[in-house]
């Protein structure tokens, strides 16, 4: 069965950094693009970063230049390094697999909470 387990969330001060991790299992990780999606209370889910099979990266305008997504296929893991965090980055961050048929997320993790305070 497909499993995605996020970790690394927590409480951090404005301007600080946090590194999220997602460990995948149950599928050939190297053959799938992966994404990080976040949701704040009362707001729609937002795709913040993605990384392709070949390592190509994509970011939302809100996090461009501050976040870096990476992957380690040997470890079946995808990471999100978040620098210069702002209160508006607060939310639940989900790791998701991009489906092979349409590219949209087909499996999600349980999420990890990120709270940025000032």
The span from the CA of 24 to the CA of 27, in Å, is 8
pLDDT band of 2, cuts 50, 70, 90: very high
- The predicted pLDDT at position 16 comes to 98
The pLDDT, as a whole number, for residue 29 is 97
CA dihedral 6, 11, 13, 17 (to 10 degrees): -20
- Beta-ladder partners of 65: none
* pLDDT value, residue 103: 80
**Pairwise CA distance, residues 14 & 63, whole Å:** 14
pLDDT band (50, 70, 90) for residue 101: confident
Q: What is the pLDDT of residue 22?
A: 98
39-60 pLDDT, tens digit per residue, is 998 999 999 999 999 999 999 9
What pLDDT sits at residue 41?
87
pLDDT on residue 102 = 82
Q: Contact at 8 Å (CB) between 22 and 75? A: no
Mean pLDDT, the chain, as a whole number?
Answer: 96
Per-residue pLDDT tens for 65-84?
999 999 999 999 999 999 99
In terms of C-beta density within 10 A (0-12 exposed, 13-18 middle, 19 or more buried), how is residue 100 classed? exposed
Confidence check: pLDDT of 96 > 90: yes
């Amino acid at each position: 069965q497909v499993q995605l387990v996020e970790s690394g969330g927590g409480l951090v001060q404005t301007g600080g950094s946090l590194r999220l991790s997602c460990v995948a299992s149950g599928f050939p990780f190297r053959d799938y693009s992966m994404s990080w999606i976040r949701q704040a209370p009362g707001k729609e889910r937002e795709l913040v970063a993605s990384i392709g099979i070949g390592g190509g990266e994509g970011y939302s305008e809100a996090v461009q230049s501050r976040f870096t997504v990476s992957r380690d296929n040997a470890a079946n893991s995808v990471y999100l390094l978040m620098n210069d965090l702002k209160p508006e980055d607060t939310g639940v961050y989900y790791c998701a697999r991009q489906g092979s048929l349409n590219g949209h997320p087909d499996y999600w993790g349980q999420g990890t909470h990120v709270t940025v305070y000032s």
